[in-house]
Structure 1
Amino acid sequence: MPNPAVSFFSGRDGVRLAYRETGEGRPLILMHGMTGDATLWLLNGQAETIATAGHRVIMPDFRGHGSSEKPHDAAFYPPDVLAGDGLALVEHLGLSEYDLGGYSLGARIVVRMLVRGAAPGRAVVAGQGLRQVLGSGGGAGASLRPLLTGWGTFEPGSPEERSEQWLRSGGADPVALLHVLDSLVGTPAEQLGRITVPTLVAVGGDDSGAASSAGHLVTALPQATGTVVPGDHWTAAGAPELVAAIVDFLAGHQ
C-alpha cells in the first residue's frame, strides 16, 4: 500500500505544517516521537491496520520534523507550541467527534492538548511514563540534546557520529530540533488529575525509561487503563500488540 499523500495546514503563527491521512470512519489523530514523522505509523502497517478497523487515521508531522517547516528562529518555538499546532489541526479539519493518540513525544503532546482543552472521546498515551509526562527527566532530550549541540564535531566511527549519520539520513535539522526541545513543558500532577477522557497508557515491557513509571501515570489519570506490549522504546512502536491494544481500546470505549 503506497504511503498517503502529504497535505498541509497552517499553524496559528503561519508555519506550514504537514499531515497525512488514511482510512474512513471516526477520526483518530496519531502523533509521532521526537526526530520522527508520520511515517512512524506507516512503516509497520500500523495506520493501515487501524484504518481497516474503521478509523480515519490522521498523522501530522510536528514543526521541525518531517515535511513540516523547520524554521531556525527561536521565536517560532514558544513554550508548548506543539500542543498548539495539534489544536490548530483539530480546528483546520473541523473535528468535533474524534480520538487522539501519540507515541513517545507524541504522547506527551496528547496530554498537553488534553489539559489545554482538547476534547477527544478517547486518548492513547504510549511510550511514556509519569516521569516523562511530568517533564522530570528521562525523555528524549536527555540523550538527544548533547548529540544536537555537538552536531558535526564527533570522532568518525564513534557512537555519537553514527547516531548523527542516522539522524542526517532522515533529514534531521539540529537547529530546529533543539528549538523543539526547548519548547517542551511538563504537565503537573494536579493537571493530570483533572483529565477525565478515557485513556490507554501503553508501554513496551523492555522500555527502560517509560515502563518504570507507566503504572504511576495510570494512577495519576482518573480514567486510565494500562497495558504492556513487547519491545523496548524503539521496537514497541511497531509491535502488532500495540496496534491491537489501540484498536481494542477504541472499540471498547465507544
Structure 2
Amino acid sequence: MNFNLPDFDSFTHDGLDLAYFDVGSGEPILLIHGFASTASVNWVHPGWLKTLGEAGYRVIALDNRGHGKSDKPHDPERYYPRLMAGDAAALLDHLGIENAHVMGYSMGARIAANLALADPEKVRGLIFGGLGIALCDGAGDWDPIAEALRAPSLDDVTHERGRMFRAFADQTRSDRIALAACIETSRELVSREDVGRIAAPTLIGVGTRDDLAGSAQTLAGLMQNARALDIPNRDHMLAVGDKVFKQAVLDFLQDVADTKN
C-alpha cells in the first residue's frame, strides 16, 4: 500500500467542496491539519500517514475549508471552529464511519475539540498536537498574521511571527486572502467549563520550545481523561513530525483500544 502519495477525493458540505484522502483499513483515525497547512503538508510529508498506516489504522485527512484542494471562501464568517468541526463530522458521515479517533494539530486541535463537544459520540480518542491551554486562553496577538497575509509581499512584513506564517503560506502556495479571513475567526476560544465536558480519552502533545500552544499540563488538568506530553526541544513548527510524539500517539491509541476491550 502506498503511504506516500495518497489520492484525494471530495465531498460537499455547507455549500463547499472539500478534499480528503482515505487510506488503509482497520480502526479509523481522522487527521485535522493546522492553519495555513494542508492534509499533505501536515500529515503525509512528516510521515504520519506512513506511521499510522503501517500500524494498521485507516487514515483519513481532510483539507480544511480555505486550505489545500478545498474551496476557499474569503468571508471570515465561514471559518469559526464549530463550522470546520461540522466539516469533519460530515466527512465521517460521508464515509459511513460512526466514530473514529480524531487528531488535530494547532488550529486542527481547536477544531477537534469543537468536534468532541458537538458530536462526542463520533470521537473514540482525541489527540491535540501543538495546542495546550491556549485552546482556552489564547496565545498572544494574531492580528499581525492577518496583516502579513494581506501584505503585497514578504518584503513588506516586519512582524516576526507574521513573516513566519506569510513565508509558510507562500511556500504552500495558499490563497492568502482566504487564510487572512480564516485567522480572524478560527481562533475562537473554548471555555474552561466546556473543556471539562470532554470525556473522550485525550493526549495533549506540545513542544518544550513552543511559544504558541500554552501548557499541555494545565489543559490536561481541566479535562476528564487527559494526559500531557512534552515533545523535547521542539517548537511549534517542528513538533508535528517528531518521533517522540509519534510513538506517544501509537502508545495512546493502543491504550484506548485496550481500555475499550
Q: Please give the TM-score of this superposition, normalised by the length of structure 1.
A: 0.89
Tell me: CA distance 1:84–1:239, structure 2 relative to 1, closer, same or farther (3 Å).
Answer: same
Q: 1:34 to 1:3 in 2, by over 3 A?
A: same
Single out whichever of 212-221 and 189-198 deviates more from structure 2.
212-221
Match of 1:145 in 2: 146
Structure 1 residues 153-162 or 165-174, which shifts more? 153-162
Partner of 1:190: 193
Contact between 2:147 and 2:180, CA under 8 Å: does it hold in 1? Answer: no
Report the CA distance shift for 1:138/1:93 in structure 2 as closer, same or farther (over 3 A). Answer: farther
Give 1:143 shift. 5.0
- Residues 151-205 of structure 1, C-alpha deviation per residue, up to 9 Å, x if partnerless? 4374499966686354223121121112212332211111111111000011112
> What displacement does 1:71 show?
2.1
Number of aligned residue pairs: 250
Partner of 1:34: 35
Residues 8 and 20 of structure 2 are in contact (CA less than 8 Å); yes or no, is this contact kept in structure 1? Answer: yes
What is the DSSP-based 3-state SS (H/G/I as helix, E as strand, rest coil) of the residue aligned with 2:215? helix
Who is 2:205 aligned against? 202
Give secondary structure in 1 for the equivalent of 2:197. coil
1:6 aligns with 2:8: yes
Q: Does 1:101 align with 2:103?
A: yes
Deviates more, 1:225-234 or 1:30-39: 225-234
In structure 1, list runs of 5 or more residues that go unmatched: none
Q: 1:51–1:57: 8 Å Cα contact kept in structure 2?
A: yes
RMSD in angstroms over aligned alpha carbons? 2.3
Residue 203 of structure 1 aligns to a residue whose secondary structure is: strand
Matched residue, 2:86: 84
Cα 1:52–1:62 shift into 2, 3 Å: same
1:48 aligns with: 50
Deviation for aligned residue 1:66: 0.6
Structure 2 residue ranges without an equivalent (≥5): none
Distance 1:157 1:146, change over 3 A: closer
Q: Which of 40-49 and 161-170 deviates more?
A: 161-170
Deviation at 1:142, TM superposition (A): 5.1
- 1:179-238 Cα shifts (integer Å, max 9, x gaps): 21233221111111111100001111211222x421110001111011112311111101
| 1:80–1:183 contact (8 Å) kept in structure 2 | no
Number of the residue aligned with 2:250: 247
Distance 2:128 2:245 in 1: 11
C-alpha distance in structure 2 between counterparts of 1:174 and 1:148, whole Å: 5
Q: Is the 8 A contact 1:81 1:183 kept in 2?
A: no
Q: Distance in 2 between matches of 1:142 and 1:224?
A: 31
Q: Residues 139 and 212 of structure 2 are in contact (CA less than 8 Å); yes or no, is this contact kept in structure 1?
A: no
Instruction: Describe the superposition over 1:86-139 as per-residue Cα deviations: whole angstroms up to 9, x where unpaired.
Output: 111121112113111111111111101111124211110111111x21153348
Q: TM-score, normalised by structure 2?
A: 0.87
Match of 1:134 in 2: 136
- Relative distance call for 1:158 and 1:227 in structure 2 (3 A) is closer
Partner residue in 2 for 1:167:
169
Taking a change above 3 Å as real, the CA distance of residues 51 and 162 of structure 1, as seen in their structure-2 partners, is closer
Q: How far did residue 77 of structure 1 move? A: 3.8
Q: Are 1:20 and 2:42 an aligned pair?
A: no
